[in-house]
Amino acid sequence: MLVWIVVAPLIGVLVNGVVFASGLWKKLLNGDEHTEKRIVSFVGCGVILASAVLSTLAFLKLRLTDERQIIQELFVWIPSGELKIGFEFLFDPLSCVMSLVVTWVSFLIHVYSIGYMHEDRSYSRYFTYLNMFVFFMLLLVLGNNFPLMFVGWEGVGLASYLLIGFWYEDAEKAYAGRKAFIVNRIGDFGFILGIFLIFFVFGSLNYQEVFSRALSPEFMDAIPQAVITTIALLLFVGAVGKSAQFPLYVWLPDAMAGPTPVSALIHAATMVTAGVYMIARCNVFYSQSPTAQMIVVGIATFTAFLAATIAITQNDIKRVLAYSTVSQLGYMFMGVGSGAYVAGMFHLVTHAFFKALLFLGSGSVIHALGGEQDIRKMGGLRRFLPVTSITFLIGTLAISGVPLFSGFFSKDEILGALYEKGYGICWFIALVTAVLTAFYMLRLYILTFEGKPRITEDLKHHIHESPPSMLIPLVILAVLSVAGGYIGIPEFMWKSIGIEGENLFERFLSSSILSTEQITHHALPHGSLTHWGLVGLSVLAAFVGIALAVYMYAITPLLPERLTEKPIVSILYRGSYGKWFVDEIYDLVFVKTFVNLSKLLALFDLKVIDGAVNGIAGAIRALASVLRTAQTGLLRFYAALMAIGVTAILVYMILSARF
């Protein structure tokens, strides 16, 4: 069964790719475009639905039976001596959560894409790539060893590259694709080194074998702590690339060049969370290395804060969301980095819902406005797009952490974990980031949907709510954004209202978290008063942010502009608006250096190497004044070089054999 979850999207790729995207249908079978689009949509969404249903069935099997994991071994993929890499799938609670999220959210976004991409002439190519992405993502999630995860990891990178540069005629978009690809390569380099090191240390790449060895004390006693830290950090380098953490986050905002559903699926809900999944999967390593944990949490906190400060001034609707994604990913890494793997995964799930919702909502807006992405040219859209605006508001409240919405529960758990693990400063920064989050999200909502319309009169007549195929996913995701949090209500909250409940999500996931360091934060010695205190603080943070945004943008709309004229604020504003000039710094430090270096090399090539070659050729030509053609000269030259080569081999051999 497991194999079909993965294979179903592949079937979609093959059908859509070979029959339609290749042009076979149009050119050889003379099929018309309308039928093509219908078949492509049907196949594209159908296979994802199949895989979603199958994942659900597998989930039920896991829930209803005592099995802690299902392993399906297909065949030995790479055998060589002691290294045996099987093509096998693992379905344990962790991959179950991931595959449910991936398949269902993908399905909704596929359905949404039918409406969104309807006018595009590369419709079938789009669905082929999208199916391909889901295939690789499921391979990443369900693979039972590191090489399979790596194949998926690279595969989703490829799909993401293809989709970011989907409209490759636009040079800037093609460039964004390349940027994403190259930045990801840097991360992947660390990741593959980490895999090598795992194999080197543990002699296997299979999850069960590696983790059971990593858990056995006698095995670990022989290994220096630094080795485990190195493994953890190398893997984290991979995660930093894929999940857009500082300093490799720069590709994600640019990745918004792709179609909006792609941003929703790949660059918000699923692919970018692969790093979080990977760390949760490798929890055994992280729990044994406090150094690595500290670095992960540190980088995550810094990323979350940095991205939030950038998001508050951006004017492109998708860019705000992109930076907010980077920031929220930071939260997830704070969770998994501080050892609260369940909390991190929980935030991953809820974030998948509300961020997909926000992106799809923004897509609906962009669609309605004919491609406009600047929020300064929006405003008052609630009147025109009622469904979109309500669902968008729900998403906004969820991400801001307003109580009873899903984001509240998950974010709160991460903040609680940070506090308990003693990351006091990080906790505080995360709290400030929560204020900023609520602020910029509300700002985004208000500027887009409230106030006076700032759109042109001409546009006003054309503006229309999106088709049902786009709205239904929005509504479903809105429901999930609200209700999604209830799967993980912490124990103390149940107790406070007098019910003997427990954290369902945590209990479900617990068998996947192998590390001995259990998540203990609901067993705080201070009792539930501290808990409620922490909750109160984060609720306060959310409302402060919301209130600030409402005050600045709804009540006194002229205030922000006046504020930016004040000296200190203006510097900060310009810094934030310019994204703290990170791109420019990178450009200066890395890109320019490389370009100059390669120019130097090219010059070297041109002057020295070519010069030498030309010089030799010229010298020979000059020497051989009556030479008939250059060819014969070169021939002799080659023969001479070969003679020297043979002599070198001969000399080396004699020297090494005789002395």
Residues engaged in binding another protein (CB under 8 A): 22-23, 75-81, 83, 151, 154, 168, 174, 605, 620, 623-628, 631, 633-636, 638-654, 656-658
CA distance 327 to 338: 17
Q: Which amino acid is at 163?
A: L
Nearer to another protein, 154 or 502 (CB): 154
Which residues fall within 8 angstroms of residue 123, CB to CB, at 6 or more apart? 36, 37, 40, 117
Q: How far is the CB of 651 from another protein (least distance, A)?
A: 6
- By beta-carbon proximity to another protein, the closer residue of 65 and 625 is 625
Q: How far apart are the first and last CA of the chain?
A: 65
- Is there a contact between 377 and 368 (Cβ–Cβ < 8 Å)? no
Angle (deg, nearest 10), helices 123-142 and 146-164: 160
Q: Which helix (H) or strand (E) holds 446?
A: helix 424-449
CB 401 within 8 Å of CB 541:
yes
The residue type at 356: A
For another protein, the closer of residues 560 and 633 by Cβ is 633
For the bound state, the minimum distance from the C-beta of residue 447 to another protein, rounded and expressed in Å, comes to 37
Nearest approach in angstroms of CB 652 to another protein is 6
Angle between helices 386-400 and 424-449 (to 10 degrees): 170
Q: How far is the CB of 385 from another protein (least distance, A)?
A: 36
Smallest gap, in angstroms, from Cβ of residue 168 to another protein?
Answer: 6
Q: From the CB of 531, what's the least distance to another protein, in Å?
A: 47
Cis peptide before 557 (omega within 30 of 0): no
Burial class (CB in 10 A: 0-12, 13-18, 19+), 35: exposed
- For another protein, the closer of residues 73 and 605 by Cβ is 605
Q: Which is nearer to another protein, 155 or 361 (CB)?
A: 155
Two tokens at 469?
Answer: 């195929």
Rounded Cα–Cα distance for residues 392 and 386 (Å): 10
- Closest to another protein by CB, 116 vs 135, is 135
Residue number with CB closer to another protein (153 or 384): 153
**Alpha helix positions (H), 165-270:** 171-202, 207-215, 217-221, 225-242, 251-254, 260-264
Instruction: Decide: 413 and 496 in contact? Cβ < 8 Å.
Output: no
Which tokens in the block code for residue 223?
Answer: 């290994």
Q: Say how many C-beta atoms besides its own lie within 10 A of residue 351's C-beta.
A: 30
* Smallest gap from residue 507 Cβ to another protein (A): 38
Distances, alpha carbon 183 to alpha carbons 31, 65, 245, 586, in Å: 40, 43, 11, 11
Query: Residue 163: which of 272, 256, 51, 48 has the closest Cα?
Result: 256
- Based on CB atoms, which residue is closest to another protein, 585 or 622? 622
Neighbour tally for 133: CB within 10 Å: 27
- Is 30 or 80 the residue whose CB approaches another protein more closely? 80
Whichever of 22 and 373 has its CB closer to another protein, that residue is 22
Shortest spacing between CB 563 and another protein, in angstroms: 45
Six token digits for residue 14: 């093959």
Q: Give the pair of three-digit tokens for residue 650.
A: 């001969």
Minimum distance of another protein from residue 254's CB (angstroms): 18
Phi-psi region of 337 (alpha: psi -120 to 50; beta: other; left: phi over 0): alpha
Which is nearer to another protein, 135 or 277 (by Cβ)? 135
How far, in Å, CA of 409 to CA of 468, rounded? 31
Max Cα distance, the chain (Å): 105
- Closest to 255 in 3D by CA, of 325, 151, 358: 325
Which tokens sit at 373?
């992405």
> 83 pairs with which residues across the strands?
80
Helix (H) or strand (E) segment spanning residue 74: strand 70-80
Nearest alpha-carbon partner for 105 in 339, 356, 346: 356
Cα–Cα dist 157/263, whole Å? 13
CB 188 within 8 A of CB 140: no
Instruction: Choose between 22 and 69: whose C-beta lies nearer to another protein.
Output: 22
Burial of 441 (0-12, 13-18, 19+ CB in 10 A): buried
Nearer CB in complex with another protein: 78/540:
78
- Nearest residue (CB) to another protein, 169 versus 458: 169
C-beta closer to another protein: residue 504 or 648: 648
Q: Which of 178, 495 has the CB closer to another protein?
A: 178
The minimum distance between CB 158 and another protein, in angstroms, equals 9
4 token code pair: 């079909």
Q: How far is the CB of 654 from another protein (least distance, A)?
A: 6
CB of 344 to another protein, least distance (A): 29
Compute the least distance from the CB of residue 6 to another protein, in Å: 13
The CB-of-621 to another protein minimum distance in angstroms stands at 10
Q: Which residues contact 89 (CB under 8 A, 6 or more apart)?
A: 2, 3, 5, 6, 71, 72, 74, 142, 143, 144
**At its nearest, how many Å lie between another protein and the CB of residue 206?**
17
Taking the complex as a whole, the smallest distance from the CB of residue 247 to another protein amounts, in Å, to 21
- Contact between 405 and 398 under an 8 Å Cβ cutoff? The reply is yes
